[in-house]
């Protein structure tokens, strides 16, 4: 059975890039009747927060992602310690005492000599008394994984090619001789990403690792660690990364692109899903109405090998397609959160929905209807026109025909046509130069508000 995992660090709110990886794994599992595991990489006790764990569960539910199993790395430290000890006993995990400053200085020297900045394994030369001397100075070791890029002498590395068939990028190769032995354990005893990730993937029987292309460089070392632990490496797939519209990399600092922010800003879940999944692929980005339909157009092999730009403007266009299809019954409960309810609510929704791009925009139009504020018109000439227009307003209760009757009468009376005829009226009544069809909007305002707003604008009393 296919088993995939989404392994976020709960150190912030997930953004659209994280979401893309979650959806790729979720859809791949669904397509193959597989299992989707949610694994919190929460080994960083200082930065991992419960609020981000709680927020992630809300985000995944909104995205219609339902994990089959949930794990926390913070509850598995004993297992990692056990594996680390095995590696130490086998001489595959060795202690190093260099400080960060010393390593950085050595790296700069190597680069100045046009040498690759690869760790030279000096720590392997340390005798027991050397290690004790460092520890007497207060130094604590970090631990490196010894890569098998040599025959018998670890100081005489040789070209050691690691291959894998990436289900997105195709055949890949990395030479272990070009890499430093990766640090698996920090000086304070905490684990970096690699060891817990590999141990979990083995213990949880992960068959496919689908993740961002920024992890390609890590893959050779991870494959080597799988083999060192007598495990068969899973199948890897590295998808292209998303950038901002300006080409910058996404991070949790892009709070406006977090799923939490997009949801609260009124975007539809399926709009976010469609763009996150289809952007940067050979598929056209379309507004598929549900996840099952989106799944039919999801194919890992369609993923481009170059990065893709995520532009909120594209999301707005896509989102508008979903909003325009929503009936009042679909949206009634969500509208009530904006205090949009009552006898006018259904007529209001049907009037404004084709002129908004996201749900929150409806709240603006509801406010425009119910505010006591008057709206300004800059042109003095148009102010006079607005004041005079009151006298041509049809008698009685305003309905769908009132706007046409009113503007026809004004055209005959003033000679105005086109925008000169209707734009000052729209501005005076709504404060905006665009929006819903005024013939439908006028009854929502009612005669009393229409007269008050026109009169107030016309007199200049704002």
Q: Which residues are annotated as a binding site for ATP?
A: 252
In the DSSP assignment, the letter for residue 138 is: T
**Cα–Cα–Cα angle for 257, 258, 261, nearest 5°?**
90
Q: Are the beta carbons of 351 and 361 closer than 8 angstroms?
A: no
Q: Are the beta carbons of 63 and 22 closer than 8 angstroms?
A: yes
Which one, of 377, 355, 366, lies nearest residue 431 by Cα?
Answer: 377
Task: Give per-residue burial for 80-116: e unless 16+ CB within 10 Å, then b.
Answer: beebbeebeeeebbbbbbbeeeebeeebeeeeeeeee
- The residue assigned the tokens 């609260």 is 264
What is the rounded CA–CA span in Å between residue 45 and residue 226? 26
The three-class DSSP label of residue 56 is: helix
What is the rounded CA–CA span in Å between residue 372 and residue 370? 7
Which one, of 239, 238, 235, lies nearest residue 278 by Cα?
Answer: 239
The three-class DSSP label of residue 423 is: helix
Residue numbers belonging to the annotated binding site: 252
- The residue assigned the tokens 């996404």 is 250
In the DSSP assignment, the letter for residue 341 is: -
In the DSSP assignment, the letter for residue 432 is: S
Residues contacting 244, CB < 8 A, separation 6+: 250, 254, 257, 309, 310
**Positions of E strands within 48-201:** 69-72, 93-96, 142-145, 161-166, 170-175, 183-185
């Amino acid at each position: 059975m296919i088993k995939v995992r989404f392994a976020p660090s709960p150190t912030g709110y997930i953004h659209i890039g994280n979401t893309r990886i979650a959806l790729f794994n979720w859809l791949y599992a669904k397509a193959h009747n597989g299992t989707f595991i949610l694994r919190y990489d929460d080994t960083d006790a200082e930065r991992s927060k419960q609020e981000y764990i709680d927020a992630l569960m809300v985000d995944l539910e909104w995205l219609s992602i339902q994990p089959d199993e949930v794990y926390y790395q913070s509850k598995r430290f004993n297992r990692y310690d056990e594996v680390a000890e095995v590696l130490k006993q086998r001489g595959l995990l060795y202690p190093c005492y260099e400080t960060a400053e010393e390593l950085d200085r050595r790296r700069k020297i190597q680069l100045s000599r046009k040498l690759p900045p690869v760790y030279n394994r000096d720590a392997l030369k340390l005798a027991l008394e050397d290690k004790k001397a460092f520890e007497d100075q207060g130094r604590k070791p970090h631990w490196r994984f010894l890569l098998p890029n040599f025959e018998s002498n670890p100081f005489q590395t040789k070209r050691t090619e690691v291959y894998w068939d990436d289900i997105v990028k195709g055949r890949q190769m990395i030479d272990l001789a070009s890499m430093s032995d990766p640090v698996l354990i920090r000086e304070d005893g905490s684990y970096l990403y690699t060891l817990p990730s590999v141990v979990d993937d083995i213990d949880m029987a992960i068959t496919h690792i689908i993740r961002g292309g920024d992890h390609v460089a890590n893959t050779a070392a991870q494959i080597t660690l799988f083999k060192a632990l007598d495990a068969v490496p899973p199948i890897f797939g590295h998808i292209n990364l998303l950038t901002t519209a300006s080409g910058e990399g996404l991070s949790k600092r892009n709070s406006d692109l977090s799923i939490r922010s997009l949801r609260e800003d009124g975007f539809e879940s399926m709009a976010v899903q469609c763009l996150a999944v289809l952007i940067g692929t050979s598929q056209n980005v379309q507004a598929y109405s549900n996840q099952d339909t989106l799944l039919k157009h999801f194919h890992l092999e369609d993923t481009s090998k170059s990065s893709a730009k995520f532009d909120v403007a594209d999301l707005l266009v896509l989102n508008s397609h979903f909003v325009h299809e929503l009936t009042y019954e679909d949206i009634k409960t969500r509208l009530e959160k904006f205090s949009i309810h009552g006898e006018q609510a259904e007529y209001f929704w049907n009037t404004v929905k084709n002129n908004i791009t996201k749900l929150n925009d409806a709240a603006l139009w509801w406010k425009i209807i119910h505010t006591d504020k008057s709206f300004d018109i800059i042109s003095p000439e148009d102010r006079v026109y607005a004041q005079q227009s009151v006298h041509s307003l049809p008698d009685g209760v305003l309905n769908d025909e009132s706007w046409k009757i009113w503007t026809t009468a004004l055209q005959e009376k003033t000679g105005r046509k086109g925008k000169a005829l209707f734009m000052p009226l729209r501005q005076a009544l709504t404060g905006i130069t665009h929006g819903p069809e005024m013939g439908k909007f006028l009854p929502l305002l009612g005669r009393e508000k229409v007269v008050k707003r026109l009169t107030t604008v016309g007199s200049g009393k704002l």
